[in-house]
Chain A
């Protein structure tokens, strides 16, 4: 297992937890409110699992930052959704980084699940934002 890659994934999960908390004040559509709550719960659970993997490997999990920078100031529903697209996309990149740096089958399975659920959420928020295509062909592969 690469501790650096896992710390990167943990950073992405901390940022996602923080961002889902931040945006909740700007999301009013009932279905989206439920999806924000789901996403927040999922990222909290993933953060906890990631911290456990790191501790089990003898590493100290990095604490969250005081705040995270959204791509644009979050002052509207549209900006809130853009921030969610951004954190989910970043999480995909971080988890693919973990996958490429471990041969541990159990960790790969967990990282694939993290990559997949973030890719699906990224698609959901891209759809809500009216972005096309709604899905990314190679989630986690970075830009291009």
Chain B
């Protein structure tokens, strides 16, 4: 009894801890930004921007899903983009800085991204710059 109590913590310490959850995919943040921009653009009456940013969100989410390892028997539902409530004060003026920030967010990942991701990231960044030009 005494022995068991003394060795128990040791046994616990020697047990391999469960693997830590994988670090969050940096593209998940880009999905959130794209959905938020799409909501803002819809509220601001900019359908072209809303459509493009929704497409960005969908392609980025598809890449996150592809790259996320599936744990057998895991009950975690597949991440699906959900709609985002439009932020207050939605206007075309608010859209331009949001798109510029999104361009930088995607562009900053380009230098170190995996080769299979770099094209998508670069196109999203250039697409955001194009949307700014389209609004001007």
- Point out residues on A near B: beta carbons under 8 Å: 92, 96, 99-101, 103, 105, 108-109, 111-112, 115-116, 118-120, 122-124, 127, 132-141
Q: Are A123 and B119 in contact (CB under 8 A)?
A: no
B43 within 8 A of A: no
Indicate which residue in A92, A123, A134, A138 contacts B124 across the interface (CB closer than 8 Å).
A138
Closest residue of chain B to A105 (Cβ to Cβ) is B111
Contact with A along B93-136 (1 / 0, CB 8 A): 00000000001000100111001001110111111011111100
Closest residue of chain B to A126 (Cβ to Cβ) is B134
B55 within 8 A of A: yes
Q: Are B133 and A99 in contact (CB under 8 A)?
A: no
Chain B interface size, as a band, is 20 to 34
List the B side residues contacting A136 at CB < 8 Å: 127, 130
Query: CA separation between A132 and B134, bound complex, in Å?
Result: 10
With A96-B119, A100-B118 in contact, do A116 and B134 touch (Cβ < 8 Å)? no
Closest residue of chain B to A104 (Cβ to Cβ) is B111
Query: CA separation between A119 and B129, bound complex, in Å?
Result: 8
Q: Are B110 and A135 in contact (CB under 8 A)?
A: no
Q: Are B110 and A99 in contact (CB under 8 A)?
A: yes
List the A side residues contacting B127 at CB < 8 Å: 119, 135-139
A-B contact pairs, 20 of them (CB 8 A): A100-B118, A105-B111, A112-B110, A112-B125, A115-B122, A116-B125, A118-B126, A119-B127, A119-B129, A120-B130, A120-B133, A123-B134, A124-B133, A134-B133, A135-B130, A136-B130, A137-B55, A138-B59, A138-B127, A140-B123
Query: CA separation between A33 and B124, bound complex, in Å?
Result: 29
Query: CA separation between A6 and B59, bound complex, in Å?
Result: 27
Across the A-B interface, give the 3 residue pairs with the lowest CB-CB distance, nearest first: A135-B130, A119-B126, A105-B111
Query: CA separation between A127 and B118, bound complex, in Å?
Result: 28
Q: Are B126 and A139 in contact (CB under 8 A)?
A: yes
Q: Are A116 and B129 in contact (CB under 8 A)?
A: yes
Central interface residue in A118, A135, A140, by most chain B CB within 10 Å: A135
With A135-B127, A135-B133, A139-B130 in contact, do A96 and B52 touch (Cβ < 8 Å)? no
Shortest distance in angstroms between A120's beta carbon and chain B's nearest beta carbon?
5
Q: Are A133 and B129 in contact (CB under 8 A)?
A: no
Q: Are A100 and B115 in contact (CB under 8 A)?
A: yes
Q: Are B134 and A135 in contact (CB under 8 A)?
A: yes
Q: Are B107 and A112 in contact (CB under 8 A)?
A: yes
List the A side residues contacting B130 at CB < 8 Å: 119-120, 122-123, 134-136, 139
Central interface residue in B56, B120, B131, by most chain A CB within 10 Å: B131
